[in-house]
Chains A and B, each alone.
Chain A
Amino acid sequence: MNIVVCLKQVPKKDSILRIAADGKWIDDRDLSYEMSEADAYALEEALRQKEKHGGEVIVICMGPERVRQSIKEALAKGADRAIHLYDEAFDHASDAAGIGRALAAALKDEKFDLVFTGLQSDDYGFAQVGLVIAERLGLSSATIAMEVQPEEGGVRVKRELESGWFQWVKIPLPALLTIQSGINQLRYATLKGIMAAKKKELREVKAADLGLTADDLKPAQVIERAYLPLKSKQTEMIEGKPAEAAAKLVEKLRFDARVL
């Protein structure tokens, strides 16, 4: 069972985010980065499947030099080899279509049974890249995967639906699954793993190697403005008898403010 895991590196959760001078995205100065949370669970799931069924885990990641840190972390945790899409041309791929197209092109000649992505990234949160890859490579796919059970002729997947409902689906291989956060317990990179990672293959791929030009990667969607949520204060007086008012308050806290 060979599994590809698509990783993305995103600003750390506790970063102080400032809007960039052009007002279109966040200022990336002084930021530190980490593996996007859902991708970390996707990697963990792949490593667990490998431990059960054998095979190879290949990680693929696109981005500047700094993303190597996340790639190495994946190798340290037990991935076997890595592909790094490292080229300024990839900077153009800033929407789900462009990112998906680039990753699909890089995976075209790889032999795999499954591709995992995180359900969505912690920065853009498109939740589409996985599906674009599946579409371009002609893979079957399932989203919001909670459990993955490879079996004869395919894979059984438990999907999360709304309101505490789940669904089991069976799809043929090769398949792409988008993995939900929190479905397993993340492992630590052991010091042995960290040292072993230095000897693992980390292949750099340029856009030209994939036959892609800047034009091919041009985004179909552009962010026009990024801004912090505007704070506003509203006061609402709840009238009525104390018991009724309390019940109304609870309802409002639960459904409007969503703090309960």
Chain B
Amino acid sequence: MTRTVETKEVLKGGSFLLEDHDAQEVFTPEDISDEHRMIAQTAREFTEKEILPRDEEIEAKNFDLSVELLRKAGELGLLSIDIPEKYGGMGLDLLSSLVASEQLSGQASFSGTLGAHTTIGTLPIVYFGTEEQKKKYLPRLATAELVGAYALTESGSGSDALGAKTKAVLTDDGKYYILNGQKMWITNGGFADLFTVFAKVDGEKFTAFIVERDFPGVSVAPEEHKMGLQGSSTCAVNLEDARVPVENVLGEIGKGHKIAFNILNIGRLKLGVSSNIGCKRLTSIATEYAKERHQFGVPIASFGLIKHKLAEMAILAYVGECMIYRTVGMIETTLDTVDRDIPEQALKAIEDYAIECSIIKVVASESLAYCADEAVQVFGGNGYSKDYPVERAYRDARISRIYEGTNEINRLIISGQMLRKATKGDLPVFQAAKKLMDELLSPSLSDDAGEGVFAAERAAIGNAKKAGVAVLGMAAQKYREKVQEQQEVLAAASDIIMEIFGMESAILRTEKLISTRGEADCSMQIEATRVFTNDALQRVEQHARRAIATMTEGDELRTMMSVLKRYMRFMPVDTISARRRIADSLIEAGRYNL
């Protein structure tokens, strides 16, 4: 097994809101090992040589080809990174899996096919399968002899996964469960051999089953007509008196939610990874086009408004990458303290970072939405035509904000989990909120400006964290057990938390970069971090104002607003000039280069 990081301090999930983390401790893309670099290279070469040249066939729903490509990827070991060696896999770490997903995502449809197979199609058995189930299925999933799929959603239950209607009833002889119901939006449905199906035993106990395509009573409906990802298969799966042997119950009866939710944490992280690299690709595509396209006698890349877009796309991709690698580093460090081969321990370690996984999913999918949208804009009228690649990218990107938990659900998870951890005593959020209130009553706020390139930004983020803690604390105090009903307030708190995580992750990585390369050699990364932080701080203030204004009124509101103003005092940086410099560097390189 490859180890990503040396023995380091374990940083709890969500702790970034309350603590300052050290730049030397943070994991960054620059820290990956030679082995990880080679895995990424193999995945990239595979994409360039095998997948991209067959783009048209894939988009024309040639699923035989998709399966053939999956098997080829399997020969290289790319499908078995997460499968233990004992069951024919590679048994590598999470980072290996992520660098591979990153590089295998160049063709969005096939990326969906492969991701569904290796993540939601395979991991439930890896983590929850019995010895027999693992022996029976994992070696064949590793080679794609069997293709996996995941059947959770129904027409009436999407985000509300536990509201599933599919029912499982034990036969009188106790040998089979009879499943009835319909599962919707099943990626790989058209050709998958194996489905992890969620159903309620006796209509009550939410349970997962391993269902083979050939089991009697299992049938797959025709392909759905989708907005994007035309080359991936998405179908409904019908279960009509489907006979599933009892030995195919996955995990415990009534504990299906554990599988459903735990696998999603990893799925969210991976979706974040592929969305984020999509941002990089779109930055490159838009930059290249802007250099070529002339209007008024000059390349449109020379215009400030185009530069703004190119720079912003690159900034978002950079910040996203900082967040992803930081999170993977924290998870790997925690995994190093447990026995990775014991699934419950590994899952618990990953689950502690549910907040970070949700943040990455939301931020990366929304950054991708921005990049796809602005890439179309840079292409102008051509961008609206199917003859140019961005039209498809725009449609393909849209689903990222919907699946693996909608961004709305994920926003509720972020602040909801923070509050849950606070209530359980895992994170001292309430203590911090109380301390803050005491501090507010003191006549002067300490303005301890630190040192270093980002002294001003660090001080401002410290204050932004206080604003985040204040909003969370106020919400908990005001709404108590009914806080879940205050979705808008929770979402505002989540937005603040996400901005904080983004700003701080960018600063930490850039600081680490400065310490190895020197300031002069990472001026673009410094500019990107500054611009993002400057804008993110303004967004934090808006979110905080909105939330506080609904939670307080009159004098209290007035007091809170003046405090917020003091916290959010920050001298603006010249983002226009900074974005121009970032864009100039992109234009010179002709591609994403941060």
Q: Is the interface of B mostly helix, strand, loop or mixed?
A: helix
Q: Name the residue of chain A whose CB is nearest to the CB of B34.
A: A72
A191 to B45, CA, bound (A): 13
Q: Name the residue of chain A whose CB is nearest to the CB of B585.
A: A16
Which of B76-84, B377-385, B460-468 lies at the interface? B76-84
Question: Once the chains bind, are A192 and B77 in contact (CB under 8 Å)?
Answer: yes
A76 to B76, CA, bound (A): 12
Q: Return A191 CB to nearest CB of chain B, in Å.
A: 3
Question: Once the chains bind, are A188 and B34 in contact (CB under 8 Å)?
Answer: no
Question: Once the chains bind, are B42 and A194 in contact (CB under 8 Å)?
Answer: yes
* B92 interface hit (Cβ, 8 Å): yes
Question: Once the chains bind, are B76 and A69 in contact (CB under 8 Å)?
Answer: no
Q: Return B475 CB to nearest CB of chain A, in Å.
A: 46
Residues of A within 8 A of B77 (CB): 190-192
* B46 interface hit (Cβ, 8 Å): yes
Residues of B within 8 A of A189 (CB): 38, 41-42
Question: Once the chains bind, are B75 and A191 in contact (CB under 8 Å)?
Answer: no
* B408 interface hit (Cβ, 8 Å): no
Instruction: Tell me the count of chain A residues lying within 8 A, CB to CB, of chain B.
Output: 18
Question: Once the chains bind, are A73 and B589 in contact (CB under 8 Å)?
Answer: no
Known: A72-B34, A191-B42. A29 touches B521 (CB 8 A): yes
Question: Once the chains bind, are B35 and A190 in contact (CB under 8 Å)?
Answer: no
Question: Once the chains bind, are A190 and B2 in contact (CB under 8 Å)?
Answer: no
Residues of B within 8 A of A72 (CB): 34-35, 38
* B37 interface hit (Cβ, 8 Å): yes
Question: Once the chains bind, are A194 and B35 in contact (CB under 8 Å)?
Answer: yes
Q: Return A149 CB to nearest CB of chain B, in Å.
A: 27
A192 to B80, CA, bound (A): 10
Known: A29-B521, A190-B76, A191-B78. A73 touches B35 (CB 8 A): no
| Of B2, B42, B81, B588, the contact of A16 (CB 8 Å cutoff) | B588
* A30 interface hit (Cβ, 8 Å): yes
A69 to B37, CA, bound (A): 9
* A205 interface hit (Cβ, 8 Å): no
Residues of A within 8 A of B23 (CB): none
* A198 interface hit (Cβ, 8 Å): yes
Known: A29-B521, A68-B34, A195-B35. A190 touches B75 (CB 8 A): yes
* B161 interface hit (Cβ, 8 Å): no
Q: Return A49 CB to nearest CB of chain B, in Å.
A: 22
Q: Is the interface of A mostly helix, strand, loop or mixed?
A: helix
Question: Once the chains bind, are B76 and A191 in contact (CB under 8 Å)?
Answer: yes
Q: Name the residue of chain A whose CB is nearest to the CB of B1.
A: A195
Instruction: Tell me the count of chain B residues lying within 8 A, CB to CB, of chain A.
Output: 25
Question: Once the chains bind, are A69 and B34 in contact (CB under 8 Å)?
Answer: yes
Question: Once the chains bind, are A73 and B588 in contact (CB under 8 Å)?
Answer: no
A198 to B33, CA, bound (A): 11
Question: Once the chains bind, are A191 and B39 in contact (CB under 8 Å)?
Answer: yes
Q: In A56-86, which residues have CB < 8 Å from any B CB?
A: 68-69, 72-73, 76
Q: Return A7 CB to nearest CB of chain B, in Å.
A: 15
Q: Return B183 CB to nearest CB of chain A, in Å.
A: 32
Q: Return B283 CB to nearest CB of chain A, in Å.
A: 15
A58 to B94, CA, bound (A): 32
| Of B41, B76, B92, B96, the contact of A73 (CB 8 Å cutoff) | B41
Interface centre among A14, A68, A73, A189 (most CB of B within 10 A): A189
Known: A16-B589, A30-B521, A195-B2. A190 touches B42 (CB 8 A): yes
Q: Name the residue of chain B whose CB is nearest to the CB of A192.
A: B77
Residues of A within 8 A of B90 (CB): 191-192, 195
Q: Name the residue of chain A whose CB is nearest to the CB of B38.
A: A194
A69 to B2, CA, bound (A): 16
A188 to B44, CA, bound (A): 10
Question: Once the chains bind, are A191 and B92 in contact (CB under 8 Å)?
Answer: yes
A60 to B260, CA, bound (A): 50
Residues of A within 8 A of B81 (CB): 191
Residues of A within 8 A of B38 (CB): 72-73, 76, 189, 194, 197
Residues of B within 8 A of A14 (CB): 591
| Of B39, B521, B593, the contact of A194 (CB 8 Å cutoff) | B39
Q: In B75-129, which residues have CB < 8 Å from any A CB?
A: 75-78, 80-81, 90, 92, 96
Q: In A141-188, which residues have CB < 8 Å from any B CB?
A: 188
| Of B2, B76, B92, B588, the contact of A188 (CB 8 Å cutoff) | B76
Residues of B within 8 A of A190 (CB): 42, 75-77
Residues of B within 8 A of A30 (CB): 521
What mask results when residues 554 to 594 of chain B are scored 1 for a CB within 8 Å of chain A, else 0? 00000000000000000000000000000000001111010
| Of A16, A29, A198, the contact of B35 (CB 8 Å cutoff) | A198
Q: In B364-401, which residues have CB < 8 Å from any A CB?
A: none
Name 14 A/B residue pairs within 8 A (Cβ), A-sorted.
A16-B589, A16-B590, A29-B521, A30-B521, A188-B45, A188-B46, A188-B76, A189-B42, A191-B42, A191-B77, A191-B96, A192-B90, A194-B38, A195-B92
Which residues of A line the B interface, CB within 8 A? 14, 16, 29-30, 68-69, 72-73, 76, 188-192, 194-195, 197-198
Which residues of B line the A interface, CB within 8 A? 2, 34-35, 37-39, 41-42, 45-46, 75-78, 80-81, 90, 92, 96, 521, 588-591, 593
Given contacts A30-B521, A198-B35, 15 further A-B contacts (CB under 8 A): A16-B588, A29-B521, A73-B41, A188-B76, A189-B38, A189-B41, A190-B42, A190-B76, A191-B39, A191-B42, A191-B76, A191-B78, A191-B80, A195-B35, A195-B90
Q: Which 7 A-B pairs have the closest CB atoms?
A: A191-B77, A194-B38, A190-B76, A188-B42, A191-B90, A72-B34, A189-B42
